[in-house]
Amino acid sequence: MGSSHDHDHCHSGAGQGRIAIAAVLTGLFMVAEVAGGLISGSLALLADAGHMLTDFAALSLAWFAFQLAKRPPTSSHTFGFERFPVLAAFVNGLTLFAIAIWIVIEAIERFGSPGEILAGTMLYVAIAGLIVNIVVFLILRGGDRDNLNIRGAMLHVLGDMLGSAAAIIAALVIMRTDYTPIDPILSVFVALLILRSAWMLVKESGHILLQGAPTGLDRDEISADLLENVEGVETVDHMHIWSLTDGRPMMTVEVQASQAIEPSKLCDAIKERLDQKFGVEHVTLEVR
């Protein structure tokens, strides 16, 4: 267990450093993109800059979550703050919903009153934004992609990449055809893609926060397996399965033992079976 714990801290430290670099790059370019959007008059650029603002906040929150998760348990927080990164992922998902709705509202208003767009300025800023977003995405991709906090940050940056790509396409269309409605049209398309990513992130992190059973761990299947494969188990009752964080399942369970077996040996056998078969290391077990 000790080596696994050290391994987790190694991963979290590397993830924390990657998120810090990503946050700095995102924050710096966000300022440039706001200026470019105001100068060019492009909604696509302003929408992408607004998304980058939420990215910067999301990445900062993710970094803080890694910091907080390293704090030791206390008398009032007996598990410590290890679940805070899951909460950060949930909040990041909600911010993705908010920014997508804002983009759609702005696009509808822009359809009603289209303005002049400086396609050249828009194109150069969008290309620079795409390059920055690709660099940030690759930095995060090198981290632990099973970590919800890292995945939430990656989804934010992926949304930015799509926004920059949409702005490039819109700029090229405007330069060739002067068809300015392409700007809000592509903005809405990006918003819909962001909404899909946001829903998946909120759904998964919310499942953990609501103490849902981890994927692949079915209570009925585990009960049947213990009854069939662990000698001395008569009944299995009051089983609860949840995750403290993604990838860290926990369980409480009561079993009725046959009189022919020693309870301590039965406990060891059950815990070994749960660990080897289902990957559940943290088990609170009551033998009657």
pLDDT of 230-255, one tens digit each? 888 888 998 999 988 777 889 999 99
Max Cα-Cα span within the chain: 86
Residue 257 φ then ψ, to 5°? -95, 150
Average pLDDT, whole number, for the chain? 80
CA dihedral 184, 162, 209, 1 (to 10 degrees): -170
Q: Is the pLDDT score of 170 beyond 70?
A: yes
- Residue pair 243/270 in contact (Cβ under 8 Å)? The answer is no
Give 3-state DSSP helix, strand, coil % of the chain, rounded to 5: 70, 10, 20
Using only C-alpha atoms, the chain has a radius of gyration, in whole angstroms, of 25
* Fold of the CATH domain 219-287: GMP Synthetase; Chain A, domain 3 (3.30.300)
The identity of residue 113, as a single letter, is S
3-state SS, residue 241? strand
Categorise residue 80: left if φ over 0, alpha if ψ from -120 to 50, beta otherwise. left
pLDDT of res. 253: 92
The token duo for 243 is 């995750």
pLDDT at 248: 82
Could you tell me the end-to-end alpha-carbon distance of the chain, in angstroms, rounded to an integer? 28
The architecture (CATH level 2) of 2-209 comes to Up-down Bundle (1.20)
In sequence order, what are the residues at sequence separation of 6 or more whose Cβ sits closer than 8 angstroms to the Cβ of residue 238?
252, 253, 254
Distances from the Cα of 6 to the Cα of 1, 3, 10, 12, 70, angstroms = 9, 5, 6, 10, 12
Predicted TM-score (pTM) above 0.85: no
pLDDT one-digit tens code per residue, 120-154: 888 888 888 889 889 888 888 876 666 676 777 78
Provide the token pair at 175.
């330069």
Do 2-209 and 219-287 fold alike per CATH?
Answer: no
DSSP string, 167-211: HHHHHHHHHHH--TTHHHHHHHHHHHHHHHHHHHHHHHHHHHHTT
Per-domain residue ranges of the chain:
2-209, 219-287
Give tens-digit pLDDT for 179-229: 888 888 888 887 887 788 788 888 888 998 998 888 888 888 999 999 988
Residue with tokens 């890292």: 150
Strand partners, 236: 255
Confidence of residue 71 (pLDDT cuts 50, 70, 90): confident
| pLDDT recorded at residue 221 | 92
Instruction: Give residue 254's pLDDT.
Output: 92
φ, ψ of residue 250 in degrees (nearest 5)? -140, 155
